[in-house]
Each structure stands twice: as structure tokens, then as C-alpha cells.
Structure 1
Amino acid sequence: MARPWDGIISEDEQKAYNAAGFGRTTGLGKRPALLIIDVQYRTVGTKPMPFWEAIKEYPTSCGEIAWNAVGNISALLGLFRERGWPVLYPYVAPKQDFDMGRLSDKVPAIMNVAAKGYEFVAPIAPAQGDILLPKKHPSAFFGTPLASYLINVGADTLVVTGCSTSGCVRGSVVDAFAYNFRVLVPEDAVYDRSATSHAVNLFDMAAKYADVMPTEDALAALRRVV
């Protein structure tokens, strides 16, 4: 099966990881939880558009690739709703003056997002009973009660979706792994403005921290959870 990183990570490098024993699968537990990270209009845009058009609306948008991921997230969300499994929304809250810091130094545009940009994308918006988790930094765990919520709902597996693959998704996956959760990343339900960064980070997460697979395979695996 072709992987997103084929042609970007060389065959020799992939063999080196395999020789060292990286990339084994951990499988799913008995109680998965779905994280939908930063899927807001500021990262998606109000409609599917090519990247260079999308950033005229929101400089932080990832364009039409984000909308492709939204469709896959919607499929996962439907299964979680059907099974009554927990759904959590780590998201960036509107920025205030006191939020100035190293992030605003690196990405000044994030401080000037219009109010609409912070709204959740309608097709996968939260429902009654979902957990909303405002965050200030890339990892959904850093400075938030996420771990406490996950313990409370009895989760042992995290299905991580959203934006961006190289930033908030990766940061959250690494921390979830450190907290000893099983982690699954549907590779086409996460998105990034850089195709290269997306692919490289998926490779690294698959090697070290998570099971990475297409949404179709993730859905099949989740349906087998009893």
C-alpha cells in the first residue's frame, strides 16, 4: 500500500527505521475517544478554495485540502455518534492582547483572525455532550484538563484528527503517547498547508507514536471494537 511519505522519505531511510524496530502497530483499546483539533473556519476557510485563494480570506487557512479532511472527519464523527463514544474539541479561542508571546512573535497573523474564523466548521460542529477544550499552545494537553477529561470518560485510545499535521496534531499525539494512550491518526483526516511537512510528520508519528492509516481503514478497525 502506498503511503503519504513514499517518494519523500527515501527507501533507505524507511529501511533504517524498520531495521531499528520502529513502526510497529499498537492497535485499539476498548474505549476510543475522538479529538477534532482546530477545525475552525480560520484553518479551513468558509468554502473549498485553492490555497492561494483561501489565504485571501484567512491567512491561516489550508485551503481545499482541509475540506477534503473535513469529509473524512465527518465519517469518523458519524461512527462515534452512533456508538456513543466521547468526542472532544481542542480549539484555539479568540486571541486577546494578553495572549501575546512567542506564538504571536512567530505567527503574527494568528492575533488578527476575524470572529467568524473561530467558529467550528458546520458539518462537524460540536453537539450537546461533547467536550470543548480551549487551548493556547500546540498540544491539546499543555495547560488544559484534557487528560482529566479522558480519564473521566474512561478512554484508552485517541483518534486524532484536525489541523495542523505538523503542529497541533503532532504535539497532541506525542503527549498522548507519553500519557500511555493508544493513538490512531487517520492520515487523510488531518491536514497541513505543507504537503511535505504533512507527509514527513505522518511518517515520524507512524514510526514512533501512533498507528497511521487511511480513514477507510480506521473506520473498519473502529467498527471491530466491542
Structure 2
Amino acid sequence: MRPWDSVITDEDQRRYDAAGFGRAAGIGCRPALLIIDVQYRTTGSVPMPFWQAVEEYPTSCGDVAWRAVGQIGRMLELFRRKRWPVLFPHVAPKVQQDGGRLAAKVPTIMTIPPVGYRFVREVGPIDGDILIPKKHPSAFFGTTLASHLIDLKVDSLVMTGCTTSGCVRASVVDAFSYNFHVAVPEECVYDRSPVAHSVNLFDMAQKYADVLPTDELLHTLAKLTERDDVQ
């Protein structure tokens, strides 16, 4: 069973397969981990059901976020152990004059208190990680992300965080457009809508990324040579 099997019909899946979509592109040898917008404003301060979580932060995704945090922690542990790059694209606290179209489309984002923008401690940055403030869904748009990845000689990106249908998807599409290998561990991303989560995982898997169970991707990554040994 894949995450989208209960949402995407067998007929639709057959159509994509007949057209040749959804083939595995594989991972390169120099991966980096992106942890996108894993902040308390998207998880809540503690695990709680969705309707309770949005009373604390209207942009919270509820307890599904904390299940993903646990899985992101497993991926992060591997990257720490192998000394591979970890980057944190994140929305910084906004002021009214720089809200742009997002402030009009999602006005509640302008009401989040600064504490909501703190990184979730369990998967937060440490010295040496790269922080990428952003004002738009894609981690690439208007940021220094691409230049950091070039400097690090990265060829593959593991995308985690939220939301699956928003900032993760936008970042995946741009990474694909820059010709990076892109992998999405399916349990390491989250969304406030189960349907949007499933549909976007399916669409990314067909067109832009290898969407894999976290265990499978961890196994593949664990077999890669240490970065410092790659010539």
C-alpha cells in the first residue's frame, strides 16, 4: 500500500504508468537533508489533535506533524552520523510590510507570535547547519539555497517537513528543475489535509521525485560512501 492508494483510483494510476511516469530516478552520492518549516507554528507546542492544535497556532497541522517529526529525527540522525549537510529552509517572523501576497491569501500567518517560529527542538539545527530564511513556498525562490548546494557539491536532496502540498512540493519542483536528484521519505512530510498530502505525494512521485518509505530510503542512504571519501 502506498499513501495515495485510497485516494488515487487504480484507473488513474494505470494511466500514469501507461504514459511512462513514476520511474525511479535514483539517488546520487552527495546528499543533503532539507528540513522545511518544522517550527512550532506548524506542529504545535506538543502533540494534540488538529482542532485543538489550531487553537494554539492556526497554521498547525496537528498530531500528524509530530509523527513526522519522529521520522525526520531518524533521517537526521543518519545525516549527522555521516556528516552530510543539513539545511533548514524556514519562514522567519513576518512584519506587515513584507507579507506580500501570502499575507492576503493566508492572513492568519501574520498573527503568529515569534515563539511559533522557533525550530522544533527534537529536530532543530546545531552549529554547522545552514539556515535558509524564506518568504515564499519554495526554499529556492529568493534565497541563497542554490549557492550553498553548489558550494557543498551536493547532487541529491532529501526533502522533509511541511506542508506536503505547499512548501515541500514547491521546493521539490524547483530542485527537480535544477537537476538535483530528489527523494521524499513519505513519513517525513506532513500536511493539515490528509487528501492534499496523499495527492501531492502521488503527483511528486510521478513527475519530480522518488517518494519512498522512510525505511527504504534510510537503507539506501546508509550504503552510500561517506562524503569525505567521495572524490
TM-score greater than 0.5 by the shorter chain? yes
Alignment correspondent of 1:87: 86
Q: Give the TM-score normalised by structure 2.
A: 0.96
Is 1:78 the equivalent of 2:72?
A: no
Q: Structure 2: how far apart are the matches of 1:97 and 1:51?
A: 27
Q: CA deviation at 1:148?
A: 0.5
- Equivalent residue letter for 2:132: L
Alignment correspondent of 2:139: 140
Alignment correspondent of 2:50: 51
- Equivalent residue letter for 1:21: G
Q: Between Structure 1 and Structure 2, how many residues are aligned?
A: 225
Alignment correspondent of 1:210: 209
Q: Structure 2: how far apart are the matches of 1:7 and 1:175?
A: 28
Unaligned runs of 5+ in 1: none
- Equivalent residue letter for 1:215: T
- Equivalent residue letter for 2:86: V
Q: Structure 2: how far apart are the matches of 1:131 and 1:117?
A: 20
Is 1:131 the equivalent of 2:130?
A: yes
Q: CA deviation at 1:100?
A: 2.9
Q: CA deviation at 1:7?
A: 1.8
Q: Structure 1: how far apart are the matches of 2:214 and 2:7?
A: 21
Q: Give the TM-score normalised by structure 1.
A: 0.99
Alignment correspondent of 1:198: 197
- Equivalent residue letter for 2:156: T
Q: CA deviation at 1:101?
A: 2.1
Unaligned runs of 5+ in 2: 226-231
Q: Summarize deviations over 1:44-81 as a string: whole Å, max 9, x none.
A: 00000000000010010000000000000000000000
Between the aligned residues of both structures, percent identity stands at: 63
Alignment correspondent of 1:222: 221
Q: Structure 1: how far apart are the matches of 2:32 and 2:99?
A: 32
Is 1:116 the equivalent of 2:115?
A: yes
Alignment correspondent of 2:4: 5
Moved segments of 4+, more than 4 Å: none
Alignment correspondent of 1:15: 14
Alignment correspondent of 1:60: 59
Q: Structure 2: how far apart are the matches of 1:102 and 1:83?
A: 40
Q: Aligned-residue CA RMSD in angstroms?
A: 0.6
